[in-house]
C-alpha cells in the first residue's frame, strides 16, 4: 500500500519506518527543508510507538490512531513521501539506488533504519498460537489469540519485553509462566539485580522456569503444553517468543556494506559514501565510552535517527558530519515498578547496591569511575546520575547523590 505515488528519485531516502527512521525524517525536514524525503517501510502502518505494545493491558484498546507518532502529520504536510508496504530488497551504493518490492529509488543520501527482527528458535517455529512481539500486527494477532481469558500463556524469554508482557497479563489475572534458558535473567547486571527481578515476578504469582530450554510443544486433551528440557510441561495454550532479535540486514548482504551483527558504521554513523544508519541495526564506535556497540533500545534509536538525519542532510549540502556519542539508556515498566539503566558495562565492574523504601539503586564502577546506574524506582536519583554520566563521572560525585 502506498500513501502517495511512488517516486523514483529523492534527496534523502530513509529505509525503515519506526523511531530511528521517523527521527531522521523529522530532522531533515526541520534542518534542511528544501530537501525531498522518501521513507520506505515494509509495514502497512505509518510510524508508531512500539514500547506500549508490551505494556498496554488487554482490556484497553491498542489503537493505531493513538500509537502513531504525532510528528507524522507534520511530515505529511511537509511533503514526505511515505512508501508503506514496500520492502527494500537490495542496495547499489555506487549507483545510489535502492531496489524495492515495487521498483527502484535513487537518492543523494541514504539513512538505513531497518532495526531488528525477532528470532524464533526451531523448536517453536511454525507452531500454532505462537507469536513474537515485535510490531503492531504481532500484538493484534497475540491479542486475538488471548481473547478467551482461561487460556494459559507461556512466555519464552525473560528479558524486558517478556517480563513486561508477563507483568501485564498477571495484572489481568491470566495464568502466566516465564521460561528462560538463562539461570539468571538480567544476571549480566549483577546477582542482586537478578534477585530483585525474580522477586518482582514471583510476588506477582508468575511461574518461573529459569535455566530451562523449551524443547517442544504438545497437545494434551484440549490444552497445549510447552515441554522443557528437564521434562517439565508448562501450560501453554498461547506461547510468546521473546528470546531476542537480530539486525534486519539480509537485504544488504550483496551491497558491499560491512555487516557483523549489525551495520558497521564510523563515529558519525556513516556506513559508506552517502550512506548512514541509525537505531537497533547499527554497530558503531561510541566515543563517549571508547567502545564498539550495538544498542537495542528506543532512546538510542531516536538519538541516532537525529544524528543520521543531520548527517544525511550535511552530506547532500557538503557540510561536515556530526559525531554520535551517547549514553545508552533503557526503561522498562513491570508490576508497577520502573526499571531504568544508563551507561555502559563491560561486565567486570564493581557493583554497589543501595536499598531503601523507595526502591533499589545499583552503581557500576571501574576504579574511581562510575560507568553505569540501574534503578528499580528511585527515579529522581537515577535521573541526576544519568545526566552526570554525559561526562566522566567520579565515584565520589555519584555516591554523594545516593541517599
Ligand atoms: C514490544 C516492544 C516494547 C519495547 N519497549 C521498550 C521500552 O520500554 N524501552 C526501550 O528503551 N525500548 C523498548 N523497545 C525497543 C525499541 O522499541 C526499539 O529499540 C526501537 O523500536 C528501535 O527502533 P528502530 O527504528 O531502530 O527499529 P525498529 O523499531 O525495529 O523498526 C525498523 C523498521 O524497519 C522495517 N524494515 C525492516 N527491514 C525492512 C526492509 N528491508 N524494507 C523496508 N522496511 C524494513 C521494519 O518492519 C520496521 O518497521 C521495545 C520494543 C518492542 C518490540
What spacing in Å lies between the alpha carbon of 50 and ligand 1's midpoint? 7
Whose Cα sits closest to atom 21 in ligand 1?
A: 298
* Least confident interval from 3-17, 24-38, 172-186: 3-17
Confidence (pLDDT) at 6:
54
**How many other CB atoms are found less than 10 A from the CB of residue 100?**
21
Nine cell digits for residue 61: 484498546
The residue among 4 and 93 whose pLDDT is bigger is 93
What residue has cell string 540486514? 249
Query: In a mutational test of the pocket of ligand 1, which residue from 20, 38, 45, 51 has the highest number of ligand atoms less than 8 Å from its CB?
Result: 51
Q: Which tens digits make up the pLDDT trace of 335-369? A: 999 999 999 998 889 999 999 999 999 999 999 99
Confidence (pLDDT) at 399:
87
Give the orientation angle of helix 191-203 with respect to helix 160-171, to 10 degrees.
20
What spacing in Å lies between the alpha carbon of 354 and ligand 1's midpoint? 33
Nine cell digits for residue 85: 508496504
Whose Cα sits closest to atom 28 in ligand 1?
A: 115
What spacing in Å lies between the alpha carbon of 65 and ligand 1's midpoint? 18
Q: Are 72 and 43 in contact (CB under 8 A)?
A: no
C-alpha distance from residue 268 to each of 117, 278, 285, 291, 354 (Å): 24, 10, 9, 14, 37
Whose Cα sits closest to atom 16 in ligand 1?
A: 298
Query: In a mutational test of the pocket of ligand 1, which residue from 16, 251, 299 has the highest number of ligand atoms less than 8 Å from its CB?
Result: 16
Report the pocket of ligand 1 as residue ranges, CB < 6 Å: 15-21, 40-43, 50-51, 53-54, 87-88, 113-116, 133-134, 161, 248, 251, 279-280, 296-299, 301, 330-332
Confidence (pLDDT) at 21:
98
Whose Cα sits closest to atom 15 in ligand 1?
A: 297
Percent of the chain with pLDDT over 90: 94
What spacing in Å lies between the alpha carbon of 393 and ligand 1's midpoint? 31
C-alpha distance from residue 90 to each of 108, 254, 262 (Å): 16, 7, 16
For 120-241, CATH number? 3.50.50.60
Rounded to an integer, what distance in angstroms lies between the CA atom of residue 101 and that of residue 80? Answer: 19
Nearest-atom number in ligand 1 for the CA of 21 is 25
What's the mean per-residue pLDDT of the chain?
95
Confidence (pLDDT) at 3:
45
Q: What is the largest CA-CA distance in the chain?
A: 68
Confidence (pLDDT) at 158:
96
Percent of the chain with pLDDT over 70: 98
**For the chain, where do the domains classified as CATH 3.50.50.60 start and end?**
9-117+245-317, 120-241
5 pLDDT above the threshold of 70: no
Query: In a mutational test of the pocket of ligand 1, which residue from 42, 277, 337 has the highest number of ligand atoms less than 8 Å from its CB?
Result: 42
| pLDDT band for position 216 (cuts 50, 70, 90) | very high
Nine cell digits for residue 338: 520502573
Q: Which tens digits make up the pLDDT trace of 139-164? A: 999 999 999 999 999 999 999 999 99
CATH class of 9-117+245-317: alpha beta
Rounded to an integer, what distance in angstroms lies between the CA atom of residue 401 and that of residue 84? Answer: 48
Query: In a mutational test of the pocket of ligand 1, which residue from 67, 115, 296 has the highest number of ligand atoms less than 8 Å from its CB?
Result: 115
Q: Which tens digits make up the pLDDT trace of 97-127? A: 999 999 999 999 999 999 999 999 999 999 9
Confidence (pLDDT) at 7:
59
Amino acid at each position: 500500500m502506498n500513501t502517495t505515488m511512488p517516486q523514483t528519485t529523492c534527496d534523502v531516502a530513509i529505509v525503515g519506518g519506526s523511531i530511528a527512521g521517523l527521527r531522521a525524517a523529522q530532522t531533515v525536514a526541520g534542518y534542511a527543508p528544501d530537501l525531498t524525503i522518501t521513507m520506505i517501510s515494509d509495514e502497512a502502518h505509518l510510524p508508531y510507538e512500539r514500547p506500549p505494545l508490551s505494556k498496554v493491558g488487554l482490556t484497553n484498546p491498542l489503537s493505531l490512531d493513538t500509537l502513531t507518532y504525532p510528528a507524522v502529520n507534520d511530515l505529511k504536510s511537509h511533503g514526505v513521501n511515505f512508501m508503506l508496504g514496500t520492502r527494500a530488497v537490495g542496495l547499489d551504493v555506487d549507483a545510489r539506488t535502492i531496489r524495492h518490492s515495487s521498483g527502484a529509488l535513487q537518492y543523494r543520501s541514504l539513512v538505513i533504519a531497518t532495526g531488528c527482527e525477532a528470532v524464533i528458535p526451531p523448536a517453536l517455529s511454525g507452531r500454532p498460537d505462537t507469536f513474537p512481539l515485535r510490531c503492531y500486527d504481532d500484538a493484534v494477532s497475540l491479542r486475538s489469540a488471548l481473547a478467551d481469558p482461561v487460556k494459559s500463556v507461556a512466555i519464552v524469554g525473560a528479558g524486558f519485553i517478556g517480563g513486561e508482557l508477563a507483568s501485564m497479563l498477571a495484572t489481568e489475572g491470566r495464568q502466566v509462566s516465564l521460561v528462560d534458558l538463562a539461570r539468571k535473567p538480567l544476571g549480566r547486571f549483577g546477582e542482586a539485580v537478578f534477585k530483585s527481578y525474580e522477586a518482582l515476578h514471583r510476588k506477582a504469582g508468575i511461574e518461573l522456569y529459569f535455566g530451562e530450554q523449551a524443547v517442544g510443544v504438545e497437545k494434551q486433551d484440549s490444552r497445549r503444553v510447552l515441554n522443557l528440557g528437564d521434562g517439565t510441561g508448562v501450560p501453554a495454550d498461547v506461547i510468546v517468543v521473546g528470546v531476542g532479535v537480530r539486525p534486519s540486514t539480509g537485504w544488504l548482504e550483496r551491497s558491499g556494506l560491512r555487516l557483523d551483527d549489525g551495520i558497521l558504521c564510523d563515529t558519525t554513523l556513516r556506513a559508506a559514501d552517502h550512506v548512514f544508519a541509525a537505531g537497533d541495526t547499527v554497530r558503531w564506535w561510541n566515543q563517549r565510552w571508547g567502545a564498539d556497540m550495538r544498542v537495542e533500545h528506543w532512546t538510542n534509536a531516536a538519538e541516532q535517527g537525529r544524528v543520521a538525519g543531520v548527517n544525511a542532510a550535511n552530506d547532500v549540502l557538503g557540510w561536515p558530519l556530526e559525531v554520535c556519542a551517547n549514553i545508552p539508556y533503557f526503561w522498562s515498566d513491570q508490576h508497577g515498578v520502573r526499571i531504568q539503566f544508563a551507561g555502559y558495562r563491560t561486565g567486570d565492574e564493581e557493583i554497589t547496591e543501595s536499598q531503601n523504601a523507595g526502591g533499589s539503586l545499583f552503581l557500576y564502577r571501574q576504579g574511581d569511575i562510575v560507568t553505569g546506574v540501574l534503578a528499580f524506582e528511585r527515579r529522581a536519583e537515577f535521573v541526576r546520575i544519568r545526566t552526570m554520566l554525559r561526562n566522566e563521572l567520579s565515584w565520589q560525585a555519584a555516591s554523594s547523590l545516593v541517599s
